[in-house]
């Protein structure tokens, strides 16, 4: 049996000002709807994040629900795929806004990480593997990671500082020159 959700934010923040709203928030939304067992908590978390995203709500409530999703088992890879998929339907700016918040929540630092792994934790898409197939087109190292291989293939390419191709140079930003040198 899943844990029961208990919420007191309505009463804590609005109890005296609006007892009815506090009741609806704490007892109905979180007390009954969130505790209904027709769908599991992880799925409810995903639905809530996508609903807030679709509505353009990127305030503290979205941050709370992103953290709640992480706490109920949504992985970094899953939230990246969820936000990417929803972005195609709700709009690019909304996707960017949610990615900024999600990136902070899923950014976990570990003292045993390499400089490259630490840098990976500061960006949302994976760095990937060395881009050896296209190395002849670059001076310096680039990395490639598939984001989607369904229907349209989409890849994330990450460049080490100073990596050059025939079109432009990727300059380092405030300390980034040591991020990918490991």
**Percent of the chain whose pLDDT exceeds 70:** 82
The domain covering 9-105 belongs, at the CATH homologous superfamily level, to: AhpD-like (1.20.1290.10)
Structure tokens at 136: 């002849």
Exposed/middle/buried for 53, CB within 10 Å: 0-12, 13-18, 19+?
buried
Question: In the chain, at which residue ranges do the beta strands (DSSP E only) sit?
Answer: 129-130, 142-148, 154-159
Distance CA 67, CA 141 (A): 35
Q: What DSSP element (H or E) covers 104? A: helix 92-105
**pLDDT-derived band of residue 48, with 50, 70 and 90 as boundaries?**
very high
pLDDT in tens, 53-109: 999 998 888 999 999 999 999 999 999 999 999 999 999 999 999 999 999 999 865
This model's pTM is above 0.85: no
Per domain, the residue ranges of the chain are 9-105, 115-178
Question: 46: which residues sit within 8 A by CB, 6+ positions away?
Answer: 69, 74, 82
The tokens for 171 are 């300059």
Cα 104 to Cα 99: distance, rounded to the nearest angstrom: 9
Structure tokens at 105: 């929540």
CA–CA separation, 163 and 125 (whole Å): 19
């Amino acid at each position: 049996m899943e844990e029961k959700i208990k919420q007191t934010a309505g009463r804590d923040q609005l109890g005296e000002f609006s007892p009815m709203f506090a009741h609806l928030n704490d007892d109905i939304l979180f007390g009954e709807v969130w505790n209904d067992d027709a769908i599991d908590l992880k799925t409810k978390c995903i639905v809530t994040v996508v609903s807030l995203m679709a509505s353009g709500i990127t305030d503290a409530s979205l941050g709370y629900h992103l953290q709640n999703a992480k706490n109920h088992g949504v992985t970094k890879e899953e939230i990246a795929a969820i936000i990417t998929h929803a972005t195609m339907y709700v709009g690019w700016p909304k996707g960017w806004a949610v990615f900024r918040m999600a990136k902070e929540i899923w950014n976990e630092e570990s003292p045993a990480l390499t400089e490259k792994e630490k840098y990976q934790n500061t960006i949302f898409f994976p760095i990937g593997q060395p881009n050896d197939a296209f190395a002849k087109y670059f001076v310096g190292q680039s990395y490639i990671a598939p984001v989607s291989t369904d229907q349209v293939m989409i890849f994330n390419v990450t460049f080490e500082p100073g990596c050059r191709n025939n079109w432009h140079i990727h300059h380092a930003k405030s300390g980034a020159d040591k991020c990918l040198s490991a």
